[in-house]
Amino acid sequence: MLKLVLQRLGLGVLTLFAASVLIFIGTEILPGDLASAILQNSATPESLAKLRLDLGLDRPAILRFFDWLFAALHGDFGHSLANGRDVLTEIAPRFANTMFLAAYAAAVAVPLAIGLGLLAAIRQGGVFDRLVNLFTLMTISVPEYFLAYLLIKYVAVDLGWFPSLANVTPETGFADRLYYAFLPMLTLVLVIVAHMMRMTRASVLSVMASPYIEMAILKGLTKSRIVVRHALPNALAPIISVVALNLAYLIVGVVVVETVFVYPGLGQLMVDEVSKHDVPVVQACGLIFAATFILLNMTADILAILSNPRLRQPR
């Protein structure tokens, strides 16, 4: 088990290194010149040359990449080019907002998806099963920004139940945060609940064909007890994997939802800083997103191994 965990950790470190290379390359190929974007109308040949020298743009890209990576490993992401503030200071409140939104959506989506998946498996082929599958197929097919605009139009504007802009501040109380972030949360829930529900249903139904399930049926156990007590524990590995992937999406894929609702999270910050050519902030946001996604995937792998003894056996 320890060897498997160490292998996953090693692969995670290699993946994070590859992601950091892609992040650095992506910021390097952003259109426009960084020094010109910072100076704008006040740019002169002399000031441009001095700024490029101060930013280290005269050095080879490979050296700048390793300088940035080693500094990031020590928690130093530099300073924002837009306001001169420390990048971590700039990111911290935004990251807290994103984590709050992700936790809010996960607390609703995960129990709802697993519950619907189990009910659909218990009532396989029935009206409930068909309706749930139809609804989830519709939500999978619709982009999250379209769902967001539909909720804004009908729930926020027409009904007036919730605000169309999720404008929260550090002084906003917990109850008010839940209220202001309800529509972004609902958008994320509608997007991710379908994947988790369908995987739960499919995993449970695949286990239902096992001989020990047939024995439980012959013993006269109810289908709900068979599904919950006997089928679900052996179907946990794929369910854990899809839940972890969707939790990673909640943190990494919130850029569109935060932008639509003007929610002050890390995704919204990243979009704003890309338009300003604020490279240190963009790189830090990208690295945090990548590290979060990789960490959740590694956690899913380890939990899947722990939940299924067969995965711990050498092949």
What is the residue-wise DSSP string for 230-283?
IIHHHTHHHHHHHHHHHHHHHHHTTHHHHHHTT--SHHHHHHHHHHTT-HHHHH
Q: Average of pLDDT values for 64-73?
A: 82
Q: Is residue 122 part of a domain?
A: yes
101: pLDDT confidence band, cut at 50, 70 and 90? confident
236 within some domain = yes
Asked if residue 23 lies in contact with residue 290, where contact means CB atoms within 8 angstroms, the answer is yes
Please say if the pLDDT value at position 99 is more than 60.
Answer: yes
pLDDT of residue 67: 81
Does residue 34 sit within a domain?
no
More confident residue, 209 or 282: 282
Range of 235's domain? Answer: 95-276
Give the CATH number for residue 230. Answer: 1.10.3720.10
Average pLDDT, the chain: 78
Count up the domains in the chain and report the number.
Answer: 1
Residue 271 lies in a domain: yes
- Measured between alpha carbons, how far is 173 from 27 in angstroms, rounded to an integer? 36
In a domain, 60, yes or no: no
Residue 295 CB contacts under 8 Å (≥ 6 apart), including other chains: 12
- Per-residue pLDDT, averaged over 5-18, amounts to 82
How many DSSP H helices and E strands does the chain contain?
A: 16, 0
3-state secondary structure of 23: helix
Q: How far apart are CA 111 and CA 74, in angstroms?
A: 38
pLDDT at 8 over 60: yes
pLDDT higher at 131 or 232: 131
Q: Would you state the pLDDT for residue 2? A: 72
Q: What Cα–Cα distance (Å) separates residue 238 from each residue in 106, 195, 224, 301?
A: 18, 12, 20, 10
More confident residue, 150 or 251: 150
User: What's residue 167's pLDDT?
Assistant: 80
- The amino acid occupying position 208 is M
Q: Is the pLDDT of residue 312 over 60?
A: no
Please name which of 143, 148, 144, 140 lies closest in space to residue 113, comparing C-alpha atoms.
140
Structural domain includes residue 64: no
For residues 249 and 96, the model is more confident at 96
Q: What is the pLDDT of residues 151-184, one digit of tens each?
A: 888 888 888 888 888 788 778 788 888 888 888 8
Sequence-separated (6 or more) residues with CB below 8 Å from residue 219: none
Does pLDDT of 66 surpass 60? yes
| Residue 40 reports pLDDT greater than 70 | no
> Distances from the Cα of 254 to the Cαs of 19, 30, 37, 188, 264, in angstroms?
19, 22, 27, 8, 11
Highest mean pLDDT among 30-39, 100-109, 233-242: 100-109
Q: Is residue 192 part of a domain?
A: yes
**55, pLDDT greater than 70:** no
Kindly state whether residue 196 falls inside one of the protein's structural domains.
yes
Residue 236 pLDDT > 60? yes
Q: Is the pLDDT of residue 53 over 70?
A: no
